[in-house]
Amino acid sequence: MAGTSRGSTRSRASKSSTENPQIRNPNRILRKDKTRNNSLIRIFSVNLKFLIGFGIIAFAIALLFICTLINPMEKPQKPRVITPLPAPKLMDLPMFQGEHRESLYWGTYRPQVYFGVRARTPQSLVAGLMWLGVKNERYFMRHVCQDSDELKQYGWTSHNGRDYGHQVLSEQTMTLTTSFLKSKDHGSGYGGDWAVRIGVQSNESVPDEEMLKTAHLFFYVADEGGKSLTLGSRVLDIHGDSILASGSRSDIGDWQLHLFSEDVSGVHYSGFKTPHIHNLSDLVQANLAVQARQFGHLQLSDSSDDSPSILVFQISARIPFKADIVFLSGTSTRDSRVEERASRLTGTSLTSLFSEKQKEFDNKFKKSFILSDELGLEPVTVGKAALGNMLGGIGYFFGQSKISLPSISTPNAGDNSVLYWPAELYTAVPSRPFFPRGFLWDEGFHQLLIWRWDVYISLDIIGHWLDLMNIDGWIPRELILGAEALSKVPEEFVLQHPTNGNPPTLFLALRDLISKLKKEKFAATEARDISVFLDRAFVRLEAWFKWFNTTQAGKEMGSYYWHGRDTATIRELNPKTLSSGLDDYPRASHPSEDERHVDLRCWMHLAADSMHSIAELLKMDKDIKKEYSSTAKLLSDFKLLNKMHLDTANGAYCDYGNHTEKVQLTWKIVETGSNYPRREFIREVLEKPVLQLVPHLGYVSLFPFILRLIPPDSQILESQLDLISNKSILWTDFGLRSLSKTSSMYMKRNTEHDPPYWRGPIWIPLNYLIVSSLHHYSQEPGPYRERAKTVYNELRSNLIRNIVGNYKRTGYLWEQYDPKKGKGKGARLFTGWTATVLLIMAEAYHEV
């Protein structure tokens, strides 16, 4: 209305002045005055309405502003569980920068494949090897480590963790070797150059068949960031030009990949543009299949997608043959010396370098792990393989873990997870074919071996794990980072639960370092750097300790229990305790907050005592030292320990909880809501559970012994030695079984599909801890010293004999060993914590 009036007045005034601008009519002036007065009344009326409306809006805005001041609107915040701990990162320490970082930039950091190279950076340039194996007159592609390939043996026979390694891979019909070497030469780019020599030999007694006389290798290079790679200009005539591929990256500058071989007559290739490399073997097989169908040739297509991010080169030759593949960085610099550097990494020069590196490895091995001549040569071979596979299995991963959220923070159905922040992890792995990723509680055992070989690699790995800590002090128990790692994990195991912990075994290695520091066993530079590391790490270790001490605490002072057990399951004979690391080891039949887990109590003592030792070493405030000292003192209180966990009838330590022995799995018909009920293995409870000590004897029963909380003159020590040496309980001729033969759960399945895991089989890491404590008590004055020494010698001998014997027969270290016949079981090439057999051989035991 107001707009219309103003518009009309403006248009009339404009029209009058245009028609006769020079005439001034008094009557018109009078009419204009009258009109003006009427308009003022209308405008005032309109403005009043406008002002009232404007006032209401302004009042509302002011009211909103005042409310905001009183109750400020909270910005949406990411969940605490994915918020990093606000503390300086260990990886930012100067000791991990500069020369150290560059020296470890390239490496065999892809443990999930038979041979692979990458840099310690996200979106790295990567390389790897595939080949065709022959079985039943058919070809099968080998690339990713897996048992179904049925290799007779494979693994690193030596590896120094830095710049050299030698690996043997035995097929049924042929044996491949991969020898890896790094070189930092004048003119090279960041991280230097590297070379791999691939050798192929026929095995003995191979049938004289044509398809067994030629080997087909496939070496590839790929850019994880998707950058385009350039094919060598004369790749099909490799004798005229050795360059297979080239490219450029911001981290290493221009680079080239060369092939040198007198045995290879030709090379074929294929290029792919794809964001993923974990399915590369499928792409290569599909390419070969098309060529075989169309042309009858077992060779790549000699074609490429536009701007390929992956180049694969087929190297085929009559057996035996060898080929040197050389990677050169910084090739476009003024003084790059490409030909000279390439020449140094091929032929007789490379052979000499390999020989020098192998000699260095052998000498360092002899110095780091002193093995008695009484052991003989075979244990030395096994020991080197254990160490080589541990170091050769170190990997670098980058990505985001999938984390479970509490139900209260996920109101939308199905929205129960969130991604951890993007993170990198440099870590050893338990098993290349089965578990090629980081496991927190395994890593503490790995570091018992690695720090004795290379303390800086060990600190680097421990630092990466501690940098993964969130604001609450929690670290994921299993790290599945990146597409390659994720491709090996079943979906149900991907999700990590922030309420659940894992044994803080990193303190085993840290405790060793502290002890050696106090005894001045390190060189001055190493001692200084370890102290600097511990000083920076303290805030993270403190947060980790407090997370355990609050979230895993039990109802009674000094008691703890592992969270995460399923209280509602009807399909498990005994609900698993995955967070303990002992998975199906039997606990209280009915999980509850009343539980007390003796193993966790002992881990907490180790952690508290280690924190006190670090605080003392670094001369920290007395209140800090007192806090950890008092906690350690409480947890080492022998009377309190016995009151909570000792079964006086047999001198064994037990868990406590709501328990009944009368539980069984039975087949029942279960209604599914459809027309077809199904038969399932269901848990049946035949007796009401009561609060009591859980009467299962096994590894858990020995934890106070393992952590040396039992006084050397206590009669309970004698009882523990009885448990260990009793053949009806834990003793076998191959090592100590995980669960007593007298247990109602001994070798029992936990579900229809879960065979016994920690319910009888022999596990080497726990045997290592027990052997360590037997050695300790055999050195301590007391009435049971000689008994401990006798048991120690027998157990050590049994373990070494059985593991070495299995390796000789099968070519592998195993995840576990059968308690009846000592045969290797579970995952093979389990060169994670099973490698602690080398420490048993060398009598190199952890400090407590």
Which residues are identified as catalytic? 583, 815
What distances in angstroms separate CA 451 from CA 369, 446, 448, one per listed residue? 12, 9, 6
Question: Which amino acid is residue 139, in one-letter code?
Answer: Y
- What is the spatial distance between Cα 823 and Cα 807, in angstroms, rounded to a whole number? 10
CA nearest to 101, candidates 459, 482, 393: 459
- What is the spatial distance between Cα 497 and Cα 79, in angstroms, rounded to a whole number? 14
What distances in angstroms separate CA 266 from CA 167, 240, 461, one per listed residue? 25, 11, 42
- What is the spatial distance between Cα 52 and Cα 100, in angstroms, rounded to a whole number? 73
What ranges make up the beta strands (E) of 138-294? 138-142, 153-159, 164-170, 174-183, 193-202, 214-223, 230-231, 243-249, 253-260, 266-272
The DSSP 8-state label assigned to residue 104 in this structure reads: T
* CB 187 within 8 Å of CB 341: yes
Q: What is the DSSP string of 650-719?
A: TTEE--EEEE-S-EEEEEEEE--SSS--EEEEEEEE-S--EEEE----BGGGGHHHHTT-S-TT-HHHHH
Peptide linkage before 320 cis (omega within 30 of 0):
yes
- CA-based torsion, 470, 472, 476, 480: positive or negative: negative
What distances in angstroms separate CA 242 from CA 59, 232, 357, one per listed residue? 80, 8, 26
Query: What are the residues whose beta carbons fall under 8 Å from the beta carbon of 222, sequence distance 6 or more?
Result: 125, 126, 127, 128, 229, 277, 280, 309, 310, 311
**What stretch of H or E contains 55?**
helix 26-70
Question: Which amino acid is residue 641, in one-letter code?
Answer: L
* CB 195 within 8 Å of CB 324: yes
Q: How many CB atoms lie within 10 A of CB 490?
A: 6
Can you say how many angstroms the Cα of residue 570 is from the centroid of all Cα atoms in its chain? 31
Query: What are the residues whose beta carbons fall under 8 Å from the beta carbon of 758, sequence distance 6 or more?
Result: 582, 583, 584, 585, 698, 699, 738, 739
Query: What are the residues whose beta carbons fall under 8 Å from the beta carbon of 442, sequence distance 6 or more?
Result: 428, 430, 505, 832, 833
Query: What are the residues whose beta carbons fall under 8 Å from the beta carbon of 193, sequence distance 6 or more?
Result: 182, 183, 184, 185, 326, 327, 328, 329, 341, 345
**What stretch of H or E contains 314?**
strand 310-318
- What is the spatial distance between Cα 696 and Cα 587, in angstroms, rounded to a whole number? 8
Structure tokens at 596: 């007390």
Question: Which amino acid is residue 701, in one-letter code?
Answer: S
Question: Which amino acid is residue 732, in one-letter code?
Answer: T
Strand partners, 667: 681
Q: What is the DSSP string of 573-601?
A: SS---GGGT-TTS---SB--TT-B-HHHH
Q: How many CB atoms lie within 10 A of CB 95?
A: 21
What distances in angstroms separate CA 806 from CA 124, 390, 816, one per listed residue? 38, 18, 11
